Structure 1
Amino acid sequence: MTSSAYDVLGIGNAIVDILARTDDAFLTAQGMTKGSMTLIDEARATGIYSAMGPAVEVSGGSAANTIVGVADFGARGAFVGKVKNDTLGGVFIHDIRAAKVSFDTAAATDGPATACSYILVTPDGERTMNTYLGAAQNLHPNDIDAAQIAASAIVYLEGYLWDPKDAKDAFLKASSVAHGAGRMVALTLSDAFCVGRYRDEFLELMRKRTVDLVFANEAELTSLYETADFDAALAQLRKDAKLGVVTRSEKGCVVISGDETEAVPAFPVEKVVDTTGAGDLFAAGFLFGLVRGAGLKQAGQLGTLAAAEIIQHIGARPQTSLKALAQAKGLLP
Structure 2
Amino acid sequence: MAEFLEQLPMPLAYFRLILRGFGDTPARREAILAGTGVSEEMLLDPSAEISLRHQIVQIENLIGLFGEGWALRAPALWNSTTSHGPLGVAGLAAPDLATMMDLIARFGFVRAPFHRTSLRRGANWCQLDFDLTVDIEERLWRSMMEIAFIGIRAGIGAVLAAPPTQARFFFACAEPDHAREVRAVLGDGVVYRARGNAIRFPAAWLKLPSPFADAALYAVAVRELQEAKARIAVPVDLLGRVERILKSQPAGRLAADEVARLTGVSRRTLVRRLSEAGTGYRELLDRELRGRAERLLQEDSLSHARIAEELGYTDPSSFSRACRRWFGRASQVSR
TM-score after normalising by structure 1: 0.26
Higher strand fraction: Structure 1 or Structure 2? Answer: 1
Higher helix fraction: Structure 1 or Structure 2? Answer: 2
Q: Which has the larger Rg? A: 2
